[in-house]
Amino acid sequence: MSPDLERIRRALSGTQLPDRQPEGKQAAVALVLAGHAADLHVCLILRAEHAPDRWSGHMALPGGRVDAGDASARAGAIRETREEVGLWLDRVPYLGSLESLPVTAGGKPTGISLDSFVFHLGDMLEPFTPSDEVAEAFWVPLRHLLDPRNAGSRPTVRDGLTQSRPAVLFQGHYIWGLTYRVLTMFFERMQLRIAQPD
């Protein structure tokens, strides 16, 4: 069963990462929730294909590197969301944050730390205005991410070996990797389990 807004508020209450200038390499994403309180959706993007970007073509939460000009990691997530999909989070309810995660690529540390911040945009599923960094943006129902029928595995190649990574399928795309980890943490706060392959 999909969590309603009040359950999410309770689960995230008192979970605020320090709102200060980040130290070291920092990235931040926004979990932007919208829709009716009992049928919430989260904004996900399909990153445009760019050869130098190791995450190009991946499904992701809006966000990216925190700039030196950002007052905090949360400010970076707000700015990146506005730039990537045209959603303004400056004055919408901020519900809380998740634990920082180390970012890896190909199983190796990158030295980047990821902070995740949760917002409620409102009852309407607002239209997106994607930037050229975003191939497409979606409102994905939370219930879809929890439904075991949508669980899958994404094959990845590492050191010449093919491995299967847990994923959720949405409109022919894999939600996997770091985004899957962040969403798993989010649902675990409410003692719920993201869709997982058998």
The token pair that represents 179 in the structure block:
């985004």
pLDDT at 21 (0 to 100): 60
pTM, two decimals, is 0.92
The pLDDT of residue 77 is 97
Give the pLDDT of residue 104. 81
pLDDT value for 72? 93
| Contact in structure between 115 and 97 (CB atoms under 8 Å) | yes
Concatenating the DSSP letter of every residue in 32-81 gives EEES-TTS-EEEEEEE---TT-TTTT-EE-SEEEPPTT-SSHHHHHHHHH
Q: What is the per-residue pLDDT for 110?
A: 82
Report mean pLDDT in 10-residue bins for the chain, 198 residues. Answer: 92 75 82 96 92 75 94 95 97 94 81 94 97 96 98 82 91 95 97 92
